[in-house]
Amino acid sequence: MPKIDIITRSITAQKKFELLRLKGQTISFVPTMGFLHEGHLTLLREGRKRSDRLVLSIFVNPTQFGPGEDLDAYPRDTENDLALAEAEGVDVVFMPGPDELYGEKFQTYVQLEKLPRHLCGNSRPTHFRGVATVVTKLFNIIKPHTAIFGQKDFQQLAIIRQMVLDLNFDIDVIGVPTVREKDGLAMSSRNAYLTPDQRSSASCLFKSLNNASSFIKSGETNASSIIQKTIEYLNAYKSIRVDYVALCDPATLEDVSTIEGPVLMAIAVFIGKTRLIDNMVLD
Ligand code: AMP
Protein backbone atom coordinates (compact mmCIF):
# COMPACT_ATOMS: atom_id res chain seq x y z
CA MET A 1 0.00 0.00 0.00
CA PRO A 2 1.26 3.50 -0.80
CA LYS A 3 2.50 5.62 2.08
CA ILE A 4 0.82 8.74 0.77
CA ASP A 5 -2.14 10.19 2.58
CA ILE A 6 -5.38 9.46 0.70
CA ILE A 7 -8.32 11.70 1.59
CA THR A 8 -11.84 11.25 0.26
CA ARG A 9 -13.81 13.71 2.45
CA SER A 10 -13.73 17.49 1.81
CA ILE A 11 -13.94 18.36 5.49
CA THR A 12 -10.97 16.13 6.33
CA ALA A 13 -8.99 17.71 3.51
CA GLN A 14 -9.90 21.25 4.61
CA LYS A 15 -8.75 20.57 8.17
CA LYS A 16 -5.53 18.95 7.00
CA PHE A 17 -4.57 21.81 4.66
CA GLU A 18 -5.58 24.49 7.16
CA LEU A 19 -3.21 22.90 9.66
CA LEU A 20 -0.38 22.72 7.10
CA ARG A 21 -0.86 26.43 6.33
CA LEU A 22 -0.82 27.28 10.03
CA LYS A 23 2.50 25.43 10.29
CA GLY A 24 3.83 27.72 7.55
CA GLN A 25 4.03 25.03 4.88
CA THR A 26 3.49 25.90 1.23
CA ILE A 27 1.18 23.77 -0.90
CA SER A 28 1.36 22.93 -4.62
CA PHE A 29 -1.76 21.47 -6.17
CA VAL A 30 -2.25 19.46 -9.37
CA PRO A 31 -5.91 18.78 -10.26
CA THR A 32 -6.51 15.80 -12.59
CA MET A 33 -9.14 13.31 -13.66
CA GLY A 34 -6.68 10.46 -13.08
CA PHE A 35 -5.45 7.73 -15.45
CA LEU A 36 -2.12 9.48 -15.08
CA HIS A 37 0.43 9.75 -17.87
CA GLU A 38 3.73 11.52 -18.37
CA GLY A 39 1.94 14.86 -18.94
CA HIS A 40 0.38 14.69 -15.46
CA LEU A 41 3.70 13.54 -13.96
CA THR A 42 5.45 16.59 -15.45
CA LEU A 43 2.91 18.81 -13.67
CA LEU A 44 3.57 16.93 -10.42
CA ARG A 45 7.35 17.44 -10.81
CA GLU A 46 6.78 21.16 -11.33
CA GLY A 47 4.64 21.26 -8.19
CA ARG A 48 7.17 19.25 -6.19
CA LYS A 49 9.88 21.83 -6.98
CA ARG A 50 7.74 24.77 -5.91
CA SER A 51 6.32 23.93 -2.46
CA ASP A 52 6.81 22.00 0.78
CA ARG A 53 3.74 19.86 0.16
CA LEU A 54 2.45 18.37 -3.09
CA VAL A 55 -1.24 17.57 -3.46
CA LEU A 56 -2.84 15.67 -6.34
CA SER A 57 -6.57 15.44 -6.87
CA ILE A 58 -8.17 12.65 -8.86
CA PHE A 59 -11.79 13.39 -9.67
CA VAL A 60 -13.71 12.63 -12.84
CA ASN A 61 -15.88 15.71 -12.63
CA PRO A 62 -19.44 14.98 -13.84
CA THR A 63 -20.37 18.66 -14.34
CA GLN A 64 -17.79 19.15 -17.10
CA PHE A 65 -19.21 16.34 -19.22
CA GLY A 66 -22.15 17.07 -21.50
CA PRO A 67 -25.02 14.67 -22.26
CA GLY A 68 -23.77 11.82 -24.45
CA GLU A 69 -20.11 12.46 -23.59
CA ASP A 70 -17.74 9.87 -22.13
CA LEU A 71 -18.27 10.34 -18.35
CA ASP A 72 -19.03 6.67 -17.71
CA ALA A 73 -16.42 5.37 -20.13
CA TYR A 74 -13.64 7.70 -18.90
CA PRO A 75 -10.59 5.50 -18.19
CA ARG A 76 -9.77 4.88 -14.53
CA ASP A 77 -6.87 3.05 -12.81
CA THR A 78 -6.61 4.23 -9.22
CA GLU A 79 -4.06 1.66 -8.12
CA ASN A 80 -1.61 2.62 -10.85
CA ASP A 81 -2.29 6.35 -10.28
CA LEU A 82 -1.42 6.00 -6.58
CA ALA A 83 1.80 4.12 -7.37
CA LEU A 84 2.83 6.84 -9.86
CA ALA A 85 1.88 9.60 -7.42
CA GLU A 86 3.97 8.02 -4.69
CA ALA A 87 6.96 7.73 -7.03
CA GLU A 88 6.66 11.47 -7.77
CA GLY A 89 6.70 12.37 -4.07
CA VAL A 90 3.02 13.35 -3.78
CA ASP A 91 2.15 13.92 -0.11
CA VAL A 92 -1.63 13.86 -0.31
CA VAL A 93 -4.10 12.53 -2.89
CA PHE A 94 -7.59 14.00 -2.65
CA MET A 95 -10.01 11.64 -4.38
CA PRO A 96 -13.62 12.36 -3.46
CA GLY A 97 -16.57 10.51 -4.94
CA PRO A 98 -19.05 12.55 -7.03
CA ASP A 99 -21.57 12.78 -4.13
CA GLU A 100 -18.92 14.30 -1.88
CA LEU A 101 -18.52 17.35 -4.13
CA TYR A 102 -22.07 17.60 -5.45
CA GLY A 103 -24.69 17.05 -2.77
CA GLU A 104 -28.35 16.64 -3.62
CA LYS A 105 -29.03 20.35 -3.12
CA PHE A 106 -26.02 21.57 -5.12
CA GLN A 107 -26.92 24.70 -7.15
CA THR A 108 -23.94 27.08 -7.30
CA TYR A 109 -21.85 27.30 -10.47
CA VAL A 110 -18.96 29.49 -11.59
CA GLN A 111 -19.47 30.84 -15.10
CA LEU A 112 -17.12 33.12 -17.03
CA GLU A 113 -18.69 35.51 -19.52
CA LYS A 114 -16.35 35.58 -22.51
CA LEU A 115 -13.50 33.07 -22.67
CA PRO A 116 -15.77 29.98 -22.71
CA ARG A 117 -17.63 31.26 -25.78
CA HIS A 118 -14.74 30.33 -28.07
CA LEU A 119 -13.04 27.13 -29.28
CA CYS A 120 -14.22 24.08 -27.28
CA GLY A 121 -17.04 26.10 -25.70
CA ASN A 122 -18.94 25.99 -29.01
CA SER A 123 -19.24 22.21 -29.10
CA ARG A 124 -19.15 21.74 -25.30
CA PRO A 125 -21.40 24.58 -24.06
CA THR A 126 -21.44 23.59 -20.35
CA HIS A 127 -17.91 22.18 -20.14
CA PHE A 128 -16.08 25.24 -18.80
CA ARG A 129 -18.81 26.02 -16.30
CA GLY A 130 -18.12 22.55 -14.86
CA VAL A 131 -14.36 23.11 -14.93
CA ALA A 132 -14.49 26.56 -13.29
CA THR A 133 -16.90 25.25 -10.64
CA VAL A 134 -14.89 22.18 -9.69
CA VAL A 135 -11.58 24.05 -9.68
CA THR A 136 -13.11 26.70 -7.40
CA LYS A 137 -14.32 23.99 -5.05
CA LEU A 138 -10.93 22.26 -5.09
CA PHE A 139 -9.14 25.58 -4.45
CA ASN A 140 -11.41 26.18 -1.45
CA ILE A 141 -10.80 22.68 -0.11
CA ILE A 142 -7.04 22.47 -0.66
CA LYS A 143 -6.16 26.16 -0.26
CA PRO A 144 -2.99 25.82 -2.35
CA HIS A 145 -0.36 28.52 -2.81
CA THR A 146 0.42 27.26 -6.30
CA ALA A 147 -1.73 25.36 -8.81
CA ILE A 148 -0.27 23.67 -11.88
CA PHE A 149 -2.13 23.18 -15.18
CA GLY A 150 -1.14 21.97 -18.66
CA GLN A 151 -0.96 24.22 -21.72
CA LYS A 152 -2.42 21.27 -23.63
CA ASP A 153 -5.78 22.55 -22.39
CA PHE A 154 -4.98 26.12 -23.40
CA GLN A 155 -8.52 27.47 -23.08
CA GLN A 156 -8.94 25.84 -19.66
CA LEU A 157 -5.68 27.43 -18.47
CA ALA A 158 -6.78 30.86 -19.76
CA ILE A 159 -10.13 30.44 -17.98
CA ILE A 160 -8.51 29.43 -14.68
CA ARG A 161 -6.09 32.38 -14.84
CA GLN A 162 -8.98 34.79 -15.48
CA MET A 163 -11.10 33.22 -12.74
CA VAL A 164 -8.24 33.50 -10.23
CA LEU A 165 -7.98 37.21 -11.06
CA ASP A 166 -11.73 37.85 -11.07
CA LEU A 167 -12.45 36.01 -7.81
CA ASN A 168 -9.27 37.11 -5.98
CA PHE A 169 -7.90 33.66 -5.35
CA ASP A 170 -4.49 34.11 -3.72
CA ILE A 171 -2.98 31.38 -5.87
CA ASP A 172 -0.09 31.33 -8.36
CA VAL A 173 -1.23 29.58 -11.53
CA ILE A 174 1.58 27.85 -13.43
CA GLY A 175 1.20 26.60 -17.02
CA VAL A 176 3.33 23.67 -18.16
CA PRO A 177 4.14 22.98 -21.85
CA THR A 178 2.41 20.04 -23.53
CA VAL A 179 4.14 16.68 -23.14
CA ARG A 180 4.02 14.66 -26.34
CA GLU A 181 4.51 11.10 -27.56
CA LYS A 182 7.46 10.42 -29.92
CA ASP A 183 5.30 11.10 -33.00
CA GLY A 184 4.08 14.39 -31.56
CA LEU A 185 0.65 13.30 -30.31
CA ALA A 186 -0.18 15.23 -27.14
CA MET A 187 -0.45 12.81 -24.23
CA SER A 188 -4.00 12.43 -23.01
CA SER A 189 -5.93 9.90 -20.93
CA ARG A 190 -8.37 9.72 -23.87
CA ASN A 191 -5.63 8.36 -26.19
CA ALA A 192 -6.40 5.02 -24.49
CA TYR A 193 -9.67 4.91 -26.48
CA LEU A 194 -7.83 4.81 -29.84
CA THR A 195 -7.51 1.62 -31.89
CA PRO A 196 -4.01 1.03 -33.37
CA ASP A 197 -5.14 2.50 -36.73
CA GLN A 198 -6.71 5.54 -35.09
CA ARG A 199 -3.62 5.96 -32.92
CA SER A 200 -1.37 6.15 -35.98
CA SER A 201 -3.66 8.75 -37.65
CA ALA A 202 -3.74 10.81 -34.45
CA SER A 203 -0.28 12.26 -35.06
CA CYS A 204 -1.90 14.38 -37.82
CA LEU A 205 -2.96 16.96 -35.22
CA PHE A 206 0.62 17.83 -34.34
CA LYS A 207 1.68 17.61 -38.00
CA SER A 208 -1.06 20.04 -39.00
CA LEU A 209 0.05 22.51 -36.31
CA ASN A 210 3.61 22.32 -37.64
CA ASN A 211 2.36 22.79 -41.21
CA ALA A 212 0.51 25.92 -40.14
CA SER A 213 3.64 27.16 -38.41
CA SER A 214 5.59 26.74 -41.69
CA PHE A 215 2.91 28.62 -43.67
CA ILE A 216 3.26 31.55 -41.28
CA LYS A 217 7.06 31.40 -41.32
CA SER A 218 6.98 31.53 -45.10
CA GLY A 219 4.95 34.75 -44.97
CA GLU A 220 1.30 33.67 -45.10
CA THR A 221 -0.79 36.15 -43.10
CA ASN A 222 -4.32 35.19 -44.18
CA ALA A 223 -5.88 33.22 -41.33
CA SER A 224 -8.75 31.71 -43.30
CA SER A 225 -6.39 30.40 -45.94
CA ILE A 226 -4.25 28.67 -43.26
CA ILE A 227 -7.38 27.28 -41.58
CA GLN A 228 -8.71 26.00 -44.91
CA LYS A 229 -5.43 24.24 -45.76
CA THR A 230 -5.33 22.71 -42.27
CA ILE A 231 -8.89 21.39 -42.54
CA GLU A 232 -8.10 19.89 -45.96
CA TYR A 233 -4.97 18.26 -44.54
CA LEU A 234 -6.89 16.74 -41.61
CA ASN A 235 -9.82 15.65 -43.79
CA ALA A 236 -7.42 13.62 -45.94
CA TYR A 237 -7.25 11.19 -43.00
CA LYS A 238 -10.44 9.19 -43.46
CA SER A 239 -10.90 8.38 -39.77
CA ILE A 240 -10.80 12.09 -38.79
CA ARG A 241 -13.76 14.43 -38.43
CA VAL A 242 -12.79 18.04 -37.76
CA ASP A 243 -14.68 19.76 -34.93
CA TYR A 244 -12.86 23.06 -35.32
CA VAL A 245 -9.62 24.64 -36.47
CA ALA A 246 -9.12 28.17 -35.18
CA LEU A 247 -6.50 30.90 -35.27
CA CYS A 248 -7.05 33.27 -32.42
CA ASP A 249 -5.62 35.84 -30.08
CA PRO A 250 -3.85 33.90 -27.28
CA ALA A 251 -5.17 36.34 -24.65
CA THR A 252 -8.82 36.80 -25.66
CA LEU A 253 -9.27 33.64 -27.80
CA GLU A 254 -11.06 35.81 -30.35
CA ASP A 255 -10.57 34.82 -34.00
CA VAL A 256 -7.95 36.73 -35.96
CA SER A 257 -8.25 37.34 -39.68
CA THR A 258 -4.72 38.59 -40.39
CA ILE A 259 -1.62 37.26 -38.66
CA GLU A 260 0.28 40.20 -37.26
CA GLY A 261 1.83 38.75 -34.10
CA PRO A 262 1.74 35.56 -32.06
CA VAL A 263 -1.46 33.58 -32.65
CA LEU A 264 -2.88 30.49 -31.06
CA MET A 265 -3.78 27.70 -33.42
CA ALA A 266 -6.26 25.40 -31.68
CA ILE A 267 -7.67 22.19 -33.13
CA ALA A 268 -10.30 19.68 -32.05
CA VAL A 269 -11.06 16.52 -34.02
CA PHE A 270 -13.04 13.36 -33.56
CA ILE A 271 -11.26 10.10 -34.35
CA GLY A 272 -14.11 7.64 -34.25
CA LYS A 273 -15.92 8.64 -31.06
CA THR A 274 -12.80 10.04 -29.39
CA ARG A 275 -12.45 13.81 -29.29
CA LEU A 276 -8.85 15.04 -29.21
CA ILE A 277 -7.55 18.61 -28.91
CA ASP A 278 -4.19 20.22 -29.48
CA ASN A 279 -2.77 23.71 -29.87
CA MET A 280 0.38 25.69 -30.55
CA VAL A 281 1.25 29.35 -30.25
CA LEU A 282 2.61 30.39 -33.68
CA ASP A 283 4.80 33.41 -34.13
P1 AMP B 1 -6.91 15.83 -17.10
O2 AMP B 1 -6.64 14.68 -16.16
O3 AMP B 1 -6.94 15.43 -18.54
O4 AMP B 1 -8.08 16.67 -16.67
O5 AMP B 1 -5.65 16.79 -16.98
C6 AMP B 1 -5.20 17.26 -15.75
C7 AMP B 1 -4.14 18.30 -15.99
O8 AMP B 1 -3.06 17.73 -16.73
C9 AMP B 1 -4.63 19.51 -16.80
O10 AMP B 1 -4.05 20.69 -16.28
C11 AMP B 1 -4.12 19.21 -18.18
O12 AMP B 1 -3.91 20.36 -18.98
C13 AMP B 1 -2.80 18.55 -17.86
N14 AMP B 1 -2.34 17.72 -18.99
C15 AMP B 1 -3.04 16.76 -19.62
N16 AMP B 1 -2.33 16.26 -20.65
C17 AMP B 1 -1.16 16.93 -20.67
C18 AMP B 1 0.00 16.88 -21.50
N19 AMP B 1 0.09 16.05 -22.53
N20 AMP B 1 1.02 17.73 -21.23
C21 AMP B 1 0.93 18.60 -20.18
N22 AMP B 1 -0.13 18.68 -19.36
C23 AMP B 1 -1.16 17.87 -19.61
State which ligand 1 atom lies nearest to the alpha carbon of 35. Answer: 2
State which ligand 1 atom lies nearest to the alpha carbon of 190. Answer: 3
Cα 78 off chain centre by:
19
Q: Tell me, what's the pLDDT at 61?
A: 98
- The β-bridge partners of 57 are 31, 94
Q: Report how far residue 231's alpha carbon sits from residue 102's, in angstroms, rounded to the nearest whole number.
A: 40
Q: Report how far residue 53's alpha carbon sits from residue 72's, in angstroms, rounded to the nearest whole number.
A: 32
Q: Tell me, what's the pLDDT at 283?
A: 84
What's the burial of 69, exposed, middle or buried (CB within 10 Å: 0-12/13-18/19+)?
middle
Q: Tell me, what's the pLDDT at 238?
A: 86
For residue 70, give the amino acid letter. Answer: D
| Predicted structure pTM score | 0.97
Our answer to whether residue 40 is catalytic in this structure is yes
Q: What is the Å distance from ligand 1's center to 220 Cα?
A: 31
State which ligand 1 atom lies nearest to the alpha carbon of 186. Answer: 19
Ligand 1 pocket, Cβ-based, cut-off 6 angstroms = 32-33, 39-40, 42-43, 149-150, 152-153, 176, 178-179, 186-189
Q: Tell me, what's the pLDDT at 3?
A: 80
Give kind and range of the element (H or E) at residue 26. Answer: none
Residues near 78 by beta carbon (within 8 Å), at least 6 away in sequence: 34, 58, 95
Cα 101 off chain centre by:
20
Q: Tell me, what's the pLDDT at 258?
A: 97
Q: Tell me, what's the pLDDT at 43?
A: 98
Average pLDDT per consecutive 10 residues, the chain (283 residues; last block may be shorter): 86 98 98 98 98 98 97 97 98 98 98 98 97 98 98 98 98 98 98 97 98 96 98 95 98 97 97 97 93
